[in-house]
Chains A and B, each alone.
Chain A
Amino acid sequence: MDMEAAKLVGAGLAAIGAGMAAIGVGNVFGSFLESALRNPGAADGQQGRLFIGFAAAELLGLLAFVVAMILIFVA
């Protein structure tokens, strides 16, 4: 395979990681809402943890984006 083509295919494959992170972020907020509706009184106190979970899940998706950008523009 051509080197340039291989890079672009790799960048495209890295987009799978972004999709996976989307599942993760959805999971974080979905689970939070599910339990927040069961016990609304405790929901406000857990908002910090909600965003920590969101940040951790999102970081991994952003890493996939970094891989794609490095493949396209740097490598």
Chain B
Amino acid sequence: MLGTRSQVAAEAKVDPMHQFTIEPLFGSQNWELAGYNIAFTNSALWMAIAAAVLTVFVAGGMKRELVPGRWQMAVESFTGFIDDMLEANVGKGGRKYVPYIFSLFMFILFANVLGLLPLGLLGVHPFTFTSHFTVTGVLAVLSFAIVLVVGFWKHGLHFFSLFVPHGTPIWLMWLIPVIELISFMVRPFSLALRLFVAMMAGHVLLEVLSSFVIDSANAGPAWGAMIGLPSFILMIAICALEVLVCGIQAYVFALLTSLYINDAENLH
């Protein structure tokens, strides 16, 4: 019994990291830029799909009817949400960042949700590109660059006073700026790392649980009922949790970006 079980398990080995492999779809032979291959990958494809779905969603709500329909209400509630967030965190000067934060929030949200869709049933495997550090890293560096540009543009070299909080005792002047500088420089990493790991962890967890279901069901009905069924129920619950995490991570990314912009806009 045990021997056959391990044999079956070995055959149906589920690799939880396989879903994150980047595969070139076309152009892998001769598309090169500065020595790097720039093939159109599944990651790029799903980025394009997310952008297209997002454009359709927003364009559908831009009819500017006096009495908004459901679609327009949905889009307006998102823009209003971002508008309120910037108003609360940055103040009056925050309005001009609404387009950037809105695009960032919606792009991440759509990417996360698209990656979670059960399209595998139809034979199309969604690729969650936010589970890659390169993608989230570029988004984080973009936010960080905006903070730097706005900060130095608006305050000049006075921006460095960000590293000396109000009321710092004079005898701590050698320590506090160093700590503040480190915490400032680490921001893009923590921003990117949080999103990428949260998405990757959820997908790995679902994959591991699904391997429990598959392997235990293959081992026989008794094992399937004992291990497979509870795992399957847990999987459904984790899926619901993942939908929540998709929203929270997109929100946290946008919220932290707006807080960092607040530092650049108003100092502190």
Interface residues of A (CB under 8 A from B): 45, 48, 51-52, 54-55, 58-59, 62-63, 65-66, 69, 73
Main secondary structure on B side of the interface with A? helix
Candidates A52, A58, A65; contact of B256 at CB < 8 Å: A52
Pair count A-B, CB < 8 A: 37
Q: List 20 additional A-B contacts (Cβ < 8 Å) besides A52-B255, A66-B197.
A: A45-B88, A48-B85, A48-B88, A48-B255, A51-B251, A51-B252, A54-B252, A55-B252, A55-B255, A55-B256, A58-B194, A58-B198, A59-B190, A62-B201, A63-B193, A63-B197, A65-B197, A65-B201, A69-B200, A73-B17
* Contacts A65-B201, A66-B197; A51 near B248 (Cβ below 8 A): yes
Question: B79 within 8 Å of A by Cβ?
Answer: no
Nearest Cβ distance between residue A44 and chain B, in whole angstroms?
Answer: 10
Q: Which among A52, A65, A69, A73 is the interface contact of B259 at CB below 8 angstroms?
A: A52
Q: Tell me the B83-105 residues at the A interface (CB within 8 Å).
A: 85, 88-89
B80 to chain A, nearest CB (A): 15
Residues of A within 8 A of B190 (CB): 59
Contact of A62 with B88 in the complex, beta carbons under 8 Å: no
- Name the A residues within 8 Å of B193 (CB-CB): 59, 62-63, 66
Tell me which residues across on chain B come within 8 A of A51, comparing CB atoms: 248, 251-252, 255
> Which chain B residues lie closer than 8 Å to A54 at the CB level?
248, 252
Shortest Cβ distance from B235 into chain A, in angstroms?
A: 19
Nearest Cβ on chain A to B195's Cβ, whole angstroms: 10
Residues of chain A lying within 8 A (CB to CB) of residue B198: 58, 62
Q: Given the known A-B contacts A54-B252, A65-B201, are A48 and B194 also in contact in the complex, defined by CB atoms under 8 Å?
A: no
- Residues on B with beta carbons closer than 8 Å to the beta carbon of A52: 255-256, 259
Closest-CB distance, B140 to chain A (whole angstroms): 13
Instruction: Name B174-198 residues within 8 Å CB distance of A.
Output: 190, 193-194, 197-198
Cβ of A63: which chain B residues have Cβ within 8 Å of it? 193, 197
Cα-based distance from A6 to B235 in the complex (angstroms):
30
Chain B residues near A69 (CB, 8 Å)? 200, 204
Interface bits B118-160 vs A (CB < 8 Å: 1, else 0) = 0000000000000000000000000000000000000000000
Which 6 residue pairs across A and B have the least CB separation, nearest first? Answer: A62-B197, A55-B252, A59-B194, A65-B201, A66-B197, A51-B252
